[in-house]
Amino acid sequence: MDSQVLLVTGGSRGIGAATALRAARAGYAVAVNYTRQSLAADEVVRAIRAEGGTALTVQADVGDEAQIVAMFRKVDAKLGRLTALVNNAGVVDAKADLAQMDAARLERMFRINVAGSFLCAREAVRRMSTRHGGSGGAIVNVSSAAARLGSPGQYVDYAASKGAIDTFTVGLAKEVADQGIRVNAVRPGLIDTEIHASGGMPTRAFDLASTVPMQRTGTADEVAAAICWLLSAEASYTTGSFIDVGGGR
């Protein structure tokens, strides 16, 4: 695994941080992307290095194309040619009905959650594809159970952005399958992470736990385990697929 280089967007906390740590233990050199949480990203890198792994932080707003390009170039220079990408960075907004949403909210949601994932995947494909001199690789997109459920009365815009990620996963998987690249997705359900606080509902996962057949929230590491399996050689014949990590919800 010495030549395996992974970039995790939104890697400073939650699912991204858990994925970075687990992947490093599997032998990946890991680039931990963050937008503002520099101290948290530094802590993830310190934890990886303390266990003998290789990691670095890369600051970039995935809602900005120029910053995305610069981020990938830094990974090239510091870690070598990318072989794996986890498109995890994303945002949620305050609970609202569609009647309360404005264009600025929608533009931000789709610029970061959708366009950002597209552009990061574009840069990854340019490095991994056998057509571009790469040796193949794997991309895992972090979607959401919201893509299936719609999140009515809370954030249908977020749900729609994740629905776009599902479609993107299927299409890109077919587009690059003969270029040595596998593309899959995970759809987390109610996971105990900071994203709920970002949307103004810090206890949301626990408040809704009774709606989950397993009667509990999930953990970031449980999602990370699914992501890392999809990245691994054990999933070598798996592409265009989805793993729902939602306790049956």
Residues catalogued as catalytic: 158
- 248 φ/ψ sector (left φ>0, alpha ψ -120 to 50, else beta): left
Give the position of tokens 């932080």: 57
Helices (H), 37-92: 38-50, 65-79
> What is the spatial order of strands in the sheet that 84-87 belongs to?
55-59, 29-34, 5-8, 84-87, 137-142, 181-188, 242-245
Q: Give the separation between CA 149 and CA 184, rounded to whole angstroms.
A: 20
Q: Give the separation between CA 221 and CA 226, rounded to whole angstroms.
A: 9
Compute the radius of gyration of the chain from its Cα atoms. 17
